[in-house]
């Protein structure tokens, strides 16, 4: 992205918050290789909320693991605010789908949220304030002393979100975080994410296979092809900033956008290779 520099009247580059360039990941498996991600390139500007939607097995989790520095890519680069990611960066937080496994059952809600801050050696008074604010922002300030197993699935996922938020990350990555909760809870959690996003101004990359969720939540939707994965489309979601489950989902524009993404996903399922073959055959017939 460029903006004009009025003092010297020449364009200056603004560094994206997150930049993924030519990312490829090939897994070594017994007897061969699996190319999960082929060539992914996209940027997130500071403060954007972008949804990434793709069919199951299209490499979404693989991509997030590479972005968060938990796993090394085969080729390509990931940059966070202009610095190359080579291991888990302090200013990034991840919320996974399997909240059940990501919370420690022997620690209270407060203990779970506080843990990464303790590891970072944040002073006690500051830690307490950050945990209090995070629990309040996810609506769990009434159960700090409960244990995760005493809470519903939706509440457990709120604890995982609070833990990520307390950390005050610059970038929040979420991997299908609501796939395992019921529809009503899911709707509430979607609204919670938009509220937190607005409150904190954090940059969010939200991965989902749910088309409606991607359109409802995102300011932009990146559609992935099936594996080996490339970016199939990068779509701006021009819905009003104030969204609510009943009215936004009933808007004609919402329907248009979800139908468009649905058609893209259907096309994505054919995969880039199939498309290439079809194009080659068409060209040969001419
Ligand atoms: P998604 O999250 O979109 O469902 P994944 O990133 O989990 O997709 O998987 C993408 C592809 O990579 C799949 O074909 C999957 O089987 C393969 N894959 C994922 N993890 C591994 C692994 N650790 N070793 C080998 N293959 C893997
Ligand atoms: Mg996945």
Note down pLDDT in tens along the chain; length 286 residues.
444 444 556 666 689 999 999 999 999 999 999 999 999 999 999 999 999 999 888 899 999 999 999 999 999 999 999 999 999 998 999 998 876 678 999 999 999 999 999 988 999 999 999 999 999 989 999 999 999 999 998 899 999 999 999 988 999 999 999 888 889 989 999 999 999 999 999 999 999 999 999 999 999 999 998 878 899 999 999 999 999 999 999 999 999 999 999 998 888 777 555 555 556 666 677 6
Whether 5 maps to a domain, the answer reads: no
Whether 152 maps to a domain, the answer reads: yes
Burial-class residue 272 by CB neighbours within 10 Å (0-12, 13-18, 19+).
middle
C-beta atoms surrounding 37 within 10 Å: 25
Instruction: Give the residue among 168, 90, 169 at the shortest CA–CA distance from 130.
Output: 168
Contact between 232 and 58 (Cβ < 8 Å): no
Whether 97 maps to a domain, the answer reads: no
CA-closest residue to ligand 1 atom 24: 27
Query: Are 240 and 199 within one domain?
Result: yes
Which ligand 1 atom is at minimum distance from the Cα of 176?
A: 2
Residue 30 φ then ψ, to 5°: -55, 125
Contact between 95 and 175 (Cβ < 8 Å): yes
Query: Are 184 and 269 within one domain?
Result: yes
Q: Which range of residues forms the domain containing residue 160?
A: 102-168
Final residue before a domain boundary, out of 120, 146, 168: 168
Query: Are 211 and 196 within one domain?
Result: yes
Q: How far is the CA of 3 from the centre of ligand 1 (A)?
A: 39
Query: Are 117 and 259 within one domain?
Result: no
Contact between 91 and 68 (Cβ < 8 Å): no
C-alpha to C-alpha distance for 177 and 94, rounded to whole angstroms: 10
Which ligand 1 atom is at minimum distance from the Cα of 224?
A: 3
This prediction's pTM: 0.89
Query: Are 226 and 274 within one domain?
Result: yes
Query: Are 111 and 41 within one domain?
Result: no
pLDDT score recorded for residue 277: 54
**DSSP state, residue 14:** P
Q: How far is the CA of 89 from the centre of ligand 2 (A)?
A: 21
pLDDT score recorded for residue 268: 75
Whether 206 maps to a domain, the answer reads: yes
Q: How far is the CA of 83 from the centre of ligand 2 (A)?
A: 26
Final residue before a domain boundary, out of 113, 133, 168: 168
* Distance set, CA 24 to CA 78, 121, 180, 214, 230 (Å): 11, 35, 29, 24, 9
**DSSP state, residue 24:** E
Query: Are 120 and 85 within one domain?
Result: no
C-alpha to C-alpha distance for 61 and 277, rounded to whole angstroms: 27
Tally the domains of the chain: 2
**DSSP state, residue 150:** G
* Distance set, CA 2 to CA 11, 91, 162, 283 (Å): 6, 24, 34, 38
C-alpha to C-alpha distance for 158 and 179, rounded to whole angstroms: 14
Whether 111 maps to a domain, the answer reads: yes
CA-closest residue to ligand 1 atom 16: 57
Final residue before a domain boundary, out of 153, 168, 183: 168
C-alpha to C-alpha distance for 96 and 101, rounded to whole angstroms: 9
Query: Are 85 and 188 within one domain?
Result: yes
* Both structure tokens of 74: 């085969």
C-alpha to C-alpha distance for 172 and 165, rounded to whole angstroms: 8
Q: How far is the CA of 42 from the centre of ligand 1 (A)?
A: 20
Q: Three-class SS of residue 198? A: helix
Query: Are 28 and 151 within one domain?
Result: no
Whether residue 227 has its Cβ less than 6 Å from ligand 1? yes
C-alpha to C-alpha distance for 144 and 172, rounded to whole angstroms: 23
Whether 244 maps to a domain, the answer reads: yes
* Distance set, CA 53 to CA 66, 213, 217 (Å): 17, 9, 12
* Both structure tokens of 144: 């700090």
Whether 1 maps to a domain, the answer reads: no
Whether 141 maps to a domain, the answer reads: yes
* Distance set, CA 44 to CA 48, 82, 173, 192, 241 (Å): 6, 12, 12, 21, 18
């Amino acid at each position: 992205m460029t903006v004009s520099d009025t003092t010297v009247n020449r364009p200056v580059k603004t560094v994206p918050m997150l930049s993924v360039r030519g990312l490829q990941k090939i897994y070594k498996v017994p007897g061969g290789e699996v190319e999960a991600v082929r060539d992914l390139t996209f940027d997130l500007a500071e403060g954007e909320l972008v949804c990434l939607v793709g069919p199951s097995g299209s490499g979404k989790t693989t991509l997030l693991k590479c972005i968060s520095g938990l796993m090394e890519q085969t080729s390509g680069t990931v940059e966070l605010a202009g610095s190359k990611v080579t291991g888990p960066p302090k200013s990034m937080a991840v919320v996974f789908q399997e909240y059940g496994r990501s919370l420690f059952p022997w620690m209270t809600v407060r203990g779970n949220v506080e843990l990464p801050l303790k590891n970072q050696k944040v002073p006690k008074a500051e830690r307490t304030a950050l945990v209090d604010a995070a629990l309040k922002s996810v609506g769990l300030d009434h159960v700090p002393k409960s244990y995760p197993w005493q809470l519903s699935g939706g509440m457990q996922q709120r604890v995982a979100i609070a833990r990520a938020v307390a950390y005050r990350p610059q970038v929040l990555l979420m991997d299908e975080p609501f796939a395992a909760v019921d529809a009503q809870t899911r709707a509430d959690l979607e609204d919670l994410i938009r509220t937190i996003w607005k409150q904190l101004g954090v940059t969010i990359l939200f991965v989902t296979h749910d088309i409606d969720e991607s359109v409802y939540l995102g300011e932009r939707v990146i559609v992935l092809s099936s594996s080996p994965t490339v970016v199939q489309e990068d779509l701006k979601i021009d819905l009003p900033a104030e969204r609510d489950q009943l009215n936004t989902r009933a808007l004609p524009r919402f329907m248009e956008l979800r139908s468009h993404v649905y058609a893209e996903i259907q096309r994505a399922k054919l995969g880039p290779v199939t498309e290439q073959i079809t194009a080659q055959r068409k060209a040969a017939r001419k």
